[in-house]
Structure 1
Amino acid sequence: MAAPQMTVAIDDGGRHATAYVPSQAATLDLRGDTEQDLMTAVFAQAHAEARSSGQTITVAVSGGADTAPMRLEVDPDQTIRPAQEQAPAQEPATRERPQRRPVGGIPVVRIQAEGNEPTVSVRLPVADAPPARVAVSAEREDGHDRTPPARPRRPVSGLAAPEIAPGTGEPARLGVRGRLNAMLGLSLAPKAQSPEMRLRAAESMITRALPDFSVITLANPKGGVGKTPLAVALTQTLADLRGGSTVVCADLGEVGGSLAKRVAVRPSPGNDVPALLAAHPNPDVAIRPSVLSQHLTRQPSGEDIIAGRRGDATSVLNEDHAAHLAAIVAQHRDILIADTGNNPLAGSWQWAVATADVVVVPVPLRWDAADAAEEMITELASTATDVLARTIVVITAGPGDAPMVEQDTVEALRDLGVPLVARMPFEPLFASGERLALSRLQPDTRAALTRLAEEVVKTITGP
């Protein structure tokens, strides 16, 4: 005999549901302040129905922003489990029921604001793909390449992650379904188009193999725009997903910046770029991993950082120093993230921008920061390189924002040919000057960083 079925239809707002209760042959209205509260009311009604009937009932839920569709079985003892698949009516009764697809294979998403869409969003869709990258011949000086060989680039057109078929991967960990799984021991899969599935696809992209050693540069000649905290957080995100010993973040300011003060584990005196270059003067000679590690400072997410020049204002990092550092790091790491200073005329700044596989430009919603970024990008556009085709502008929110800045800035960037503008939510820890760690960032920020890291990897690897 088929189990009684209680049907529940949730409205789009996720706060009201209409439930048909078979024992009463009546329809009830259920409400909750949140979708999670509403589901609690649904299960309370389902438990009462199972106890009243003295048998297992089926609960079929439809609608809702995050919860439905789902089919569950509720026992009189309040046990809840996903409903078993029914064998087709025409099949013999002895035939085994079809097996569910195994769980696993997709990384567990840990960085998403519950119930919210990640707040990195495309502001500048590209109508036409940017031109193919112009090959730039590598100049050799002092025995090593100053400019790595060019690689094909993809047109960056958005932050929408690839679709993943529903039912694949691990049970939901986020949103209402994630909370139900955690509280009730269920194995509900995320909805196919949910933020969690998009983040899982983004994480899968981030772990893609890179074609070669890559440089990611954070640049904006205006100070105080968030280059360093974004560089640290992006490094942490990449290392968290790609694994330890894969990413190094280096302070390439000509006289050193605040990188060493913003990381979770601060480097000891002498662990800086000049010390590494002095210890390994010939970048064409192999360096042992243990020797390299002595000059890097490992962070909790698995990334390494190296401080810039400290305590010696009489000399500065120049182009040769930056190229020398990259050649050493490239022997044992996949990615170098360059946190630049505020002087576009500095040799280390020019190397970091010209050599970058991706240039990330943080722009707060302030006129001075937007003007500085626009002037920098205009100057880059006048060069013979294809740097604009690999530039991502990140508009960051904060107290005292001037909203009209965003519209004017986006229009100016559109005219210049920047292919992608993304938006990040306000992160209080970025603005506080405190040490940064992924675990301390807001869920919205961590989700946005994952989507940004996805676009960075897409730019490096191509379509």
Structure 2
Amino acid sequence: MFGGASRASEYMEEDTIGAPTSRRTAKPAEAEGGLPVLPPMPGQVDAPVETATAREAPEISPAPPAAVAAPARSDSTSILFGGAPTVLADAPASKPTSGWQGFLAKLGLSTKPRPQEVARREHAERQARFEEEVRRAVWTRAVSVLVANRKGGVGKTPASVLLSGTMAAIKGGSVAVIDAADDSGALRLRAEGTPRLGMGELVRDIAQIKTAGQLKGYTAPQTSFADVIGSAPERPRLSGEDVVNVSKVVDEFYSIRVMDSGNVYRAEAFQGAVSVTDVLVIPITNAGDAVIDALELLRQLRAAGGAPKKLADTAVILRMHDGRPESPVVGEEVERLLRDAGMNTLLDIPYDAHIAERGEITLGKLQPVTREAFVAAAAAVVRTLQDNVSND
């Protein structure tokens, strides 16, 4: 169907819904510092990957509803647009609230709502439920999200900024997003502000950080209430220990940590990030190379076994529409490959000109439909966090 798709048969996993498949893998080797070592990429000269044999796979929760496309508008009641959350019990869906039918309803005259009115109320109620899920979610420790895909240009950094920003806007803060790429990533460039300090300086000073006020000095506060810890271009390469040490300090002062990763799965920084992650988010585009790289990430994590395998089995996929031409046939093939790989949560993020500008991203400048799609994505991530962390 597209270049490289024939390789996908190497990565197929049985669907785990209803009847989990038994799989067993050899215990992954550990690098210095106790971090799990992922199997080598195809073509590398590292030790050969052992073929996974049977072990019990965890049951995966049903997929949450995907974000429903809605026309861009300015009358949303979402708190992300300055409104109050919809009260679901205010009025039944059968009672119209707008237009001439709404006027007649206020006079006590019975009318049948138009399909558009029913769809509008159902959409508002669905968004309210998503926001409520995010707002009410709590844990007995800090939780973490890793945004990863080896393929560049699929929207990892925008997804990191906007997913963390959406959760922070709904929960009122306490969300940090950090640059966890081995070499300096683009997080500092896509976030708001021009901070003087960042990830490189935080790694250098990590032993001296004892208070929230000290840590705040290394962040770029966002209008969404999230805090970004980006990197200057000249910072040293991160090790796995660097990522783990920074994560421990960030977790002392934030309830949610989001990590924007690099493109090299076998880099120490990536392995360190995997070791301190609760939920994996994989951005893709509607293209063959993007999904093939996503499938390779899933394969490597599953081959590592243990916690990395659980991350793969419960991953949340965000399909980022970036404005480039898309083939419906390719889109269907992307969905099939992900479904065959056992992925149950796929959400679409619509094209947004503000993201496509490749400059600083401000949550409030997105189109309403894009922000609502990220609310749905945040709810899916929170739901997976609740499942993955509740039994710790």
Same fold, TM-score > 0.5, yes or no: yes
Choose the corresponding residue for 1:242, options 153, 156, 171: 171
Verify the 8 A CA contact 2:180 2:261 in the aligned structure 1: yes
Match of residue 51 from structure 1:
none
Verify the 8 A CA contact 1:309 1:316 in the aligned structure 2: no
Larger-gyration structure (1/2): 1
Match of residue 293 from structure 1:
216
Match of residue 387 from structure 1:
311
Tell whether 2:330 aligns with 1:405: yes
Q: What is the CA-CA distance between 1:191 and the residue it aligns to?
A: 6.2
CA distance in 2, matches of 1:333, 1:167: 29
Pairwise CA RMSD = 3.7
* Amino acid in structure 2 at the alignment position of 1:341: G
CA distance in 1, matches of 2:294, 2:272: 18
Choose the corresponding residue for 1:304, options 220, 227, 237: 227
Structure 1, gaps ≥5 residues long: 1-124
More strand by share: 1
Q: What is the CA-CA distance between 1:253 and the residue it aligns to?
A: 1.2
Match of residue 396 from structure 1:
320
SS of 1:215's partner is strand
Residues 276 and 195 of structure 1: CA distance in aligned 2, closer, same or farther (over 3 Å): same
Q: What is the CA-CA distance between 1:223 and the residue it aligns to?
A: 0.8
1:282-308 superposed Cα distances (whole Å, 9 cap, x missing partner): 7xxx71111111111211111100013
Tell whether 2:380 aligns with 1:459: no
In terms of mean alpha carbon deviation, does 437-446 or 402-411 score higher? 402-411
Q: What is the CA-CA distance between 1:256 and the residue it aligns to?
A: 1.0
Match of residue 60 from structure 2:
155
CA distance in 2, matches of 1:203, 1:132: 36
CA distance in 2, matches of 1:132, 1:262: 42
CA distance in 1, matches of 2:58, 2:124: 28
Verify the 8 A CA contact 1:154 1:459 in the aligned structure 2: no
CA distance in 1, matches of 2:253, 2:99: 41
Q: What is the CA-CA distance between 1:370 and the residue it aligns to?
A: 1.9
SS of 1:394's partner is strand
Match of residue 360 from structure 2:
435
Tell whether 2:146 aligns with 1:223: no
Equivalent positions of 1:177-196 (< 5 A) are 177=97, 194-196=122-124
CA distance in 2, matches of 1:249, 1:132: 35
Choose the corresponding residue for 1:275, options 193, 196, 201: 201
Residues 452 and 206 of structure 1: CA distance in aligned 2, closer, same or farther (over 3 Å): same
CA distance in 1, matches of 2:90, 2:253: 32
Q: What is the CA-CA distance between 1:129 and the residue it aligns to?
A: 6.8
CA distance in 1, matches of 2:376, 2:252: 28
CA distance in 1, matches of 2:325, 2:187: 25
Match of residue 361 from structure 1:
282
Match of residue 18 from structure 2:
128
Verify the 8 A CA contact 2:238 2:269 in the aligned structure 1: yes
Verify the 8 A CA contact 1:232 1:436 in the aligned structure 2: yes
Verify the 8 A CA contact 2:63 2:344 in the aligned structure 1: no
Residues 296 and 425 of structure 1: CA distance in aligned 2, closer, same or farther (over 3 Å): same
Verify the 8 A CA contact 1:254 1:309 in the aligned structure 2: no
CA distance in 1, matches of 2:154, 2:167: 21
Verify the 8 A CA contact 2:143 2:255 in the aligned structure 1: yes
Verify the 8 A CA contact 2:35 2:271 in the aligned structure 1: no
1:330-388 superposed Cα distances (whole Å, 9 cap, x missing partner): 11101111001111121111222343211111110122222222222222222213222
Match of residue 73 from structure 2:
none
Q: What is the CA-CA distance between 1:234 and the residue it aligns to?
A: 0.5
* Amino acid in structure 2 at the alignment position of 1:390: T
SS of 1:456's partner is helix
Equivalent positions of 1:295-334 (< 5 A) are 295-308=218-231, 310-312=233-235, 315-334=236-255
CA distance in 1, matches of 2:293, 2:216: 36
Q: What is the CA-CA distance between 1:156 and the residue it aligns to?
A: 3.0
CA distance in 2, matches of 1:391, 1:368: 18
Verify the 8 A CA contact 1:392 1:420 in the aligned structure 2: yes
1:198-234 superposed Cα distances (whole Å, 9 cap, x missing partner): 1111111101112421110110111111100111111
SS of 2:151's partner is coil
More helix by share: 2
CA distance in 1, matches of 2:153, 2:336: 23
Q: What is the CA-CA distance between 1:413 and the residue it aligns to?
A: 2.1
Match of residue 444 from structure 1:
369
1:119-158 superposed Cα distances (whole Å, 9 cap, x missing partner): xxxxxx9742768999x99x9987xx869xxxx9873322
Residues 236 and 132 of structure 1: CA distance in aligned 2, closer, same or farther (over 3 Å): farther
Choose the corresponding residue for 2:181, options 245, 253, 275: 253
Verify the 8 A CA contact 1:205 1:454 in the aligned structure 2: yes
Match of residue 93 from structure 1:
none
Q: What is the CA-CA distance between 1:412 and the residue it aligns to?
A: 2.1
* Amino acid in structure 2 at the alignment position of 1:304: D
Residues 458 and 226 of structure 1: CA distance in aligned 2, closer, same or farther (over 3 Å): same
Match of residue 139 from structure 2:
210
Match of residue 103 from structure 1:
none
Choose the corresponding residue for 2:129, options 201, 206, 215: 201
Residues 179 and 339 of structure 1: CA distance in aligned 2, closer, same or farther (over 3 Å): farther
CA distance in 2, matches of 1:377, 1:338: 18
